[in-house]
Each structure stands twice: as structure tokens, then as C-alpha cells.
Amino acid sequence: MSDSSLRDLRQTTGDAETPQPRIEFPCDYPLKIVGDAVDGFHDAVMAILEQHAPELDRDSVQVIDSRNGRFQSLRVTITATGDKQLQSLFADLKATGRVHMVL
């Protein structure tokens, strides 16, 4: 596969080929966090979210159970302030061992 067949996702400004960030911070950043529907999952995820996004409104979090009730997802929008915040958030969610996926 040649380089010319790959889509270039960089945005350019003017004559210079300066890659632009894909996300401009701060911004609203929607998350869907999926894990097993067990006691403590919701509380563990909320504690991590509040640590990384203290302005989080608990009332805006949507909790959705899977069709068979085995899994649960939390849908929330945080105010993302930068890559470092998001990377730390994802690492802490993964470290719980309870989170299967973050979309």
C-alpha cells in the first residue's frame, strides 16, 4: 500500500503543512463507559469521573442496562481540558478492572 493511497487526516493552514489538533480544548466530550452490571460499578466510575472532571453534573449521567441485564453503560458528557486529562481518565477507568470499553 503506498502512502498516496492513505487518507491524510492532517489539516493544513496556508502554505505550511502544520498538523492541527483534532480536538480544540476545552470542549464538551461525550463518553460511553461500559462494564458488567454489578454492585459498585456505577459508584466506581462516578468517583473517577468526578476526580478528572469535577464540574460533572451527576443528574446528567444516563445509566443504560443491556438487553439481557449483564452489562451497564454510563453515558456522560464532560468538559475536556486537554489530552493529559483524557489520557489520565482513560487510564484510571481501565485500572479499575471493571470497565470493558470506553467510547
HEC sequence for 28-43: EEEEEEEEECCCCHHH
Q: pTM of the prediction?
A: 0.77
Could you read off the pLDDT of 42-95 as tens digits, one per residue?
Answer: 999 999 999 999 999 999 999 999 999 999 999 999 999 999 999 999 999 999
CB-based contact 92:53 (threshold 8 Å):
no
Domain map (residue ranges) of the chain: 24-102
By the 10 Å C-beta count (0-12 exposed, 13-18 middle, 19+ buried), 103 is classed as: exposed
CATH topology of domain 24-102: Alpha-Beta Plaits (3.30.70)
Nearest to 99 by CA among 47, 57, 41: 41
Res 22: pLDDT: 81
pLDDT tier at 21, thresholds 50, 70, 90? low
